[in-house]
Chains A and B, each alone.
Chain A
Amino acid sequence: MDPYEGFREFVRGRQHALMRTAYLLTGDAPQAEDLLQTVLMRTARHWRKLARDGNPEAYVRRGLVNEHISWRRRRRATETLTAHPPETEPGADPRDESLHRMALQRALMRLTPRQRAVLVLRYYEDRSIDETADLLGCSPGTVKSQTNHALGRLRALAPELAELLHDVDPEEAHR
């Protein structure tokens, strides 16, 4: 029996959504691809068990967040690679809305991996405080305080995003 039966179909069906999360976490396409591939390889190794009685997607998403946090820690220690903010366009029209997006991307890259993960899980994946706490392996109180810190740091790093962030409620119990 093929130990990877159904795995390829799972990846083909979900990889684009998973890649988008990985891209938000890393801020860099090649690193996002490496991160997702590493987690998918691990998923493939445990595929039989996950397909039988697990939730493969939850396993991958948890793996993405945790692997990302530990990667960033290791990479900072060795300084062989650094995630860099996306290219800015000097001379681009300042009225262009994409400038806001670039400012947000740059500011996101200056958060800690855990702070970025909290924002991605809460405001991109629309997860509740309890779900986020479960994925990150911490208490709901820590999720709330991390969200507060992350949003406060974004505001400090990029004051031009004030309007974008002014109505974000860190305590909001989404869903």
Chain B
Amino acid sequence: MTRFRDELRLIAAQAPEVDLAERAVRGARRKKAATFGSAVASLVATALTATVLITAPGGATMSGKIADVLPASGVDPAAYAYYDFCGRRWDPRKNTRTFDKECAQWRLVTSTGESFRMPEALSVYTEQTPGNYMNTGGPVQISSDRKRVAYYSEKDQRFAVRDLADGRIWLTPQTVTRETMVKNGMMLVLSPDGRFLGLARQTSSVVDMESGQVTEIPEGWHVQRIGNGGSPVVVSDDKDRLGIFDGGKVTPLGKSAQEVSELSADGRTLAYLDGKEFKDHFMTHDFDTIVTLDVTTGEILSKAKFTDASKKLRGLRIGGWQSPTEVMISAVADSGSWGEGKEDGVPTLGQVTYALDVNTGQVRKLAEYTYKAWSGSLSLPGF
């Protein structure tokens, strides 16, 4: 009789430690506000039953609205972050400087539906030039456990990772000027638990944010994904050839991929999208296959062609694992084109997430993240 009880206790002991006191009080206050007629608060209460906030096209996310500043602590796990150029038209040749406004800052939306702006995170580059118009603003990355967020802190000239619940902020030892950010940009990669931050541009490194220890990635390789605990690190070169960085050296995996998932919980399995082909820099064939790979042996574990439903999705990206057999992918929202969703003159932009079964290639829709704007940027946890 005792073994069954013991096993239940051992399972229960796997529960992570949490600090919910402030969050519960804040939630209770919001609910109280709702009873006095706040429509916004009642929306929050509805959203509380879902881990992920789902917004219908043209729905809850408002463009150009100035939100509260992110509180010092007690923030619920993140659902997504975005900026939308204040909902205004943006022309990098003419009006970039006019976005030096609070409404152009990164906004973080929590899983309970609250929206906060992040003044400390550099967003739109107001000194944008036509020459580098693709690099529109500072990056924000959300860990796939939704508890930490990485960004460029202009006042510190460093990258920062912030724990949303307890408010702790860690800064990278490396400094990068705003000028360099505008000129070259920077790719950020977070481990699923948000402790390790990867920086990738001309050179690449992995920073243990809690200890400040920096590990340089060998020249020619860029960090793509970081396992919990800081290893393994999945890297790729300029030709998208994948490798594993461990113990100071890179071991090539013999495969190439542009869209690489997070590592599975045991750190062994990696999924990637395959099938995209180019000719003379034009795409002639889009992703049509999901492949999984054992990173310890380089062996292909599974390969599945997309079903017809999966093939219709556009602009695919790959994120973390939804279950032991499903990875999350995101596609451009159907309404996210210039020709649709413009009833009030402003397009609806956004992404839709799906769980993609690595054995069958079938997709299952998870959530839509949309906002009304002429242009902008959206960041989803684990992508």
* A interface residues with partner B (beta carbon < 8 Å): 4, 7-8, 11-12, 15-16, 19-24, 29-34, 36-38, 40-45, 47, 71, 74, 79-82, 84-92, 100-101, 104-105, 108, 119-120, 123-124, 126, 163-165, 167-169, 172
15 contacts between A and B (CB under 8 A): A15-B20, A21-B12, A32-B15, A33-B77, A34-B48, A34-B111, A44-B24, A81-B51, A84-B322, A92-B266, A101-B11, A108-B11, A164-B7, A165-B4, A167-B1
CB distance from A155 to the nearest CB of B (A): 11
Taking CB atoms, residues of chain B closer than 8 Å to A12 are 19, 21
Decide: B18 and A23 in contact? CB cutoff 8 A: no
Decide: A100 and B7 in contact? CB cutoff 8 A: yes
Taking CB atoms, residues of chain A closer than 8 Å to B7 are 100-101, 104, 164
Interface: B3 (CB within 8 A): yes
Q: Do A30 and B146 form a contact, CB below 8 Å, given A23-B12, A24-B12, A40-B24?
A: yes
Contact of B265 among A36, A47, A87, A104 (CB under 8 A): A87
Taking CB atoms, residues of chain A closer than 8 Å to B146 are 30
Decide: B21 and A168 in contact? CB cutoff 8 A: no
Decide: A101 and B10 in contact? CB cutoff 8 A: yes
Q: How many A-B residue pairs have CB under 8 A?
A: 140
Cα distance, A168 to B24, chains bound together (Å)? 38
Decide: B20 and A81 in contact? CB cutoff 8 A: no
CB distance from A167 to the nearest CB of B (A): 5
Q: Contact residue range for chain B?
A: 35 or more
Q: Which 6 A-B pairs have the closest CB atoms?
A: A23-B15, A44-B28, A84-B323, A40-B24, A87-B265, A20-B12
Taking CB atoms, residues of chain B closer than 8 Å to A100 are 7
* B interface residues with partner A (beta carbon < 8 Å): 1, 3-5, 7-25, 27-28, 31-32, 48-52, 54, 76-77, 111, 145-146, 264-266, 268, 321-324, 364, 366-367
Decide: A36 and B20 in contact? CB cutoff 8 A: yes
Cα distance, A32 to B167, chains bound together (Å)? 21
Decide: A7 and B25 in contact? CB cutoff 8 A: yes
Give the one of B8, B266, B324 with max A CB within 10 A. Answer: B8
Cα distance, A106 to B322, chains bound together (Å)? 15
